[in-house]
């Protein structure tokens, strides 16, 4: 579905991504792990065209998107949920979803389906999104991204700062989403959140992917986990 080949990104004078190779297979949930500052967010922003790759190639669904504009990349079928939970605080949950619908109308059946795994959305449907808890805002942000069918969903650290109970309900929601035809690339530092959720996993360090394989292999191999997660996630174990 998505392939990055030797992708470099410079931010000002800094050489942040230094030849990222990443493959996101169609239909599954891929996880991108790595310590703070490894380059995970920069990778997502580069895929979305929010940073321009200074080298390498990004292919999405058979199309070269390396130099495409962000609106064109979104139109091609990629949705992005940034770490900052982009919701409009003053607007109600309904209005937040309505604004995210490019067709200009909400598909009631799809909204009901989304509310099936994010019940809080229905409960607070007519309340300003700014009044919701962090976890509920995260649900609104993800709902906005999938209010219309998208081929690929990029989600940056959805569990950051959330209470364990909310993390559990997010996990259940991602499990449901996995059963649809949406391909997901999830950036996480919480290995326990993704160890049973992910199909494939890539680990970044210093602007490169240093490991790529199946989540089953990583979750079942203590030595590999210690080496990779000790390398990259030591403060999160």
Ligand X SMILES: Nc1ncnc2c1ncn2[C@@H]1O[C@H](COP(=O)(O)OP(=O)(O)OP(=O)(O)O)[C@@H](O)[C@H]1O
Residues that bind ligand X (CB under 6 A): 11-12, 14, 16, 34, 36-42, 189
CB of 41 to ligand X, least distance (A): 3
Q: Interhelix angle for 134-145 vs 164-178, to 10°?
A: 10
Which tokens sit at 132? 């919701």
Alpha carbons 33 and 38: distance in angstroms, whole number = 9
Q: Which is nearer to ligand X, 12 or 71 (CB)?
A: 12
Task: Spell out the residues 6+ positions from residue 24 whose beta carbon is closer than 8 angstroms to its own.
Answer: 1, 2, 3, 30, 152, 183, 185, 200
CB of 32 to ligand X, least distance (A): 8
CB of 51 to ligand X, least distance (A): 8
Alpha carbons 191 and 211: distance in angstroms, whole number = 15
CB of 160 to ligand X, least distance (A): 9
Q: Which is nearer to ligand X, 91 or 231 (CB)?
A: 231
């Amino acid at each position: 579905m998505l392939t990055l080949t030797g992708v470099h990104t410079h931010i000002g004078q800094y050489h942040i991504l230094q030849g990222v190779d990443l493959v996101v297979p169609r239909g599954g949930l891929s996880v991108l792990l790595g310590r703070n500052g490894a380059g995970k967010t920069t990778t997502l922003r580069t895929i979305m065209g929010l940073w321009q790759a200074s080298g390498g190639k990004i292919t999405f669904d058979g199309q070269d998107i390396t130099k495409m504009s962000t609106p064109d990349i979104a139109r091609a079928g990629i949705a992005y949920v940034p770490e900052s939970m982009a919701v409009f605080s003053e607007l109600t949950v309904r209005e937040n979803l309505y604004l995210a619908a490019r067709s200009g109308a909400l598909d009631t059946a799809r909204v009901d389906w989304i509310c099936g795994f994010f019940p809080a959305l229905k409960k607070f449907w007519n309340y300003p999104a700014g009044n919701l808890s962090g976890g509920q805002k995260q649900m609104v942000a993800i709902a906005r991204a999938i209010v219309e069918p998208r081929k690929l969903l990029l989600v940056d650290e959805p569990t950051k700062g959330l209470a364990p109970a909310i993390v559990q309900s997010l996990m259940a929601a991602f499990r449901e989403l996995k059963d649809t035809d949406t391909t997901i690339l999830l950036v996480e530092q919480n290995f326990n959140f993704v160890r049973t959720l992910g199909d494939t996993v890539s680990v970044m360090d210093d602007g490169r992917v240093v490991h790529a394989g199946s989540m089953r292999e990583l979750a079942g191999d203590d030595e590999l986990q210690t080496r990779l997660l000790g390398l990259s996630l030591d403060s999160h174990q």
